[in-house]
Amino acid sequence: MTSEVTYRVRPSTRADALVLRALRLEALRDTPDAYGSTFDESVRWSRERWEEMASTFNYFLAESEGDVVGMVSGGGNDRHPGTFWMYAMYVTPDARGSGVATQLVEAVSQWARERGAAQLYLHVTTAVARARAFYRKVGFREVGETITMDRDPSLQLVTMVRNLYE
């Protein structure tokens, strides 16, 4: 008899700074084209910066039996004032396919709903087809906007949106 793994998704706190750092660096090694920062840049960030991110950037962490296996963040977007966005989604390879990614999306969706949002947006790079397929599966659709990633002009980002009340 196999036991089913259960995950708990919770907001991060300042105390999660080192866990967030480790997970973000793992994500940058795993899928470097998916994020706005690079491993080399992020590994040099100070502990204080990680503490600030963990306590003020609306990160949600997924954990099971004390191990953090996923992260996501919610926030605004200066290019699209008044909208709500999902950023920095990552699930460790061992937890992929478990449903934890959907739980992370739901956590950010709930965060956005609580702030009056009817829609949640994201940018996903064209280099990571697996991520785009997952986002479609959980209700995001492409809006027809593609932009160039700031840190690497060779990477294109597709804008997607999810209606939060469908």
CATH of the domain at 113: 3.40.630.30
Residue 5 reports pLDDT greater than 90: no
Distance CA 27, CA 32 (A): 7
Number of domains in the chain: 1
In a domain, 17, yes or no: yes
In a domain, 1, yes or no: no
In a domain, 90, yes or no: yes
In a domain, 106, yes or no: yes
Give the pLDDT score at 166: 76
DSSP-assigned letter for residue 96: T
Distance CA 21, CA 149 (A): 22
Question: pTM for this one?
Answer: 0.93
Distance CA 41, CA 157 (A): 20
Give the pLDDT score at 39: 97
In a domain, 52, yes or no: yes
In a domain, 3, yes or no: no
Chain segment 121-139, per-residue pLDDT in tens: 999 999 999 999 999 999 9
Chain segment 111-124, per-residue pLDDT in tens: 999 999 999 999 99
Domain extent for 83: 8-163
